[in-house]
Structure 1
């Protein structure tokens, strides 16, 4: 059985700027699933963010539903694991340097550490590391 994949679909105002933002974070673009209305950001072998123009995004939603303005409301938190505290910091720092914004203060519980940021459209991203020994116990 193939591993299950996740495709997080996000509406964006400026597709080219959003693609550039995620490339600056070290992710790649799958050009086979990219056109002038959508772009597939490859986060890992099983995790993808589909950046969709607002018009394209709206074509997938239920009739009559509005697109949330992520700069004003929170509909979802996208959370990624990191292999170390340093990798969590690297990704969050890269997001801030690429034009993203801070979302919350860093969280440090000793055995678990996390950072957060918003992308160019205000979508809230979390990146965290957890001590594997703590996760087992």
Structure 2
């Protein structure tokens, strides 16, 4: 029988740890207080289920994965989606992103009847989706 994973998290390479920390903090992500070796790492907690996103300097990320990181501008390595309970919550996300001058890839739109979606990128080009499925 295969082992059952107990936790899952994601790691992203970023060019500027402090810029990324402020970007995600402005969107309500929780910066986890962890001790780590140096200033080239932060850990974020996302949502009610405690999904963890670790941000590493690009150099440190590449050492850890033993390969080159993609340039995420113009490419997409993964698609994370954040659940929104209502269309208004999608619109609130849009406003929060506009307030911090984030790169909105696509503004809120009705994907199909009752489903609303928008897309944005963080300062390093990592793409995110805000998705409401009311029906």
Shorter-chain TM-score: which interval? 0.7 to 0.9
User: CA–CA distance in 1 between the matches of 2:13 and 2:56?
Assistant: 5
| Aligned equivalent of 1:43 | 46
Cα root mean square deviation, aligned: 2.0
CA–CA distance in structure 2, aligned partners of residues 67 and 56 of structure 1: 10
- Which consecutive segments of 4 or more residues in structure 1 shift more than 6 A? none
Instruction: List alignment gaps of at least 5 residues for structure 1.
Output: none
Find the partner of 2:113 among 90, 110, 114. Answer: 110
Q: Normalized per residue, which structure has more helix?
A: 1
Q: Is the 8 A contact 2:91 2:108 kept in 1?
A: no
Q: TM-score, normalised by structure 2?
A: 0.83
Structure 1 length normalisation: TM-score? 0.82
Aligned length: 128
CA deviations on 1:46-103 (whole Å, 9 max, x unpaired) are 3121111111211221x3x321111131111111111222222222332232232021
Q: Give unpaired runs (5+ residues) of structure 2.
A: none
Distance in 2 (CA, whole Å) between partners of 1:9 and 1:98 is 23
Partner of 2:92: 90
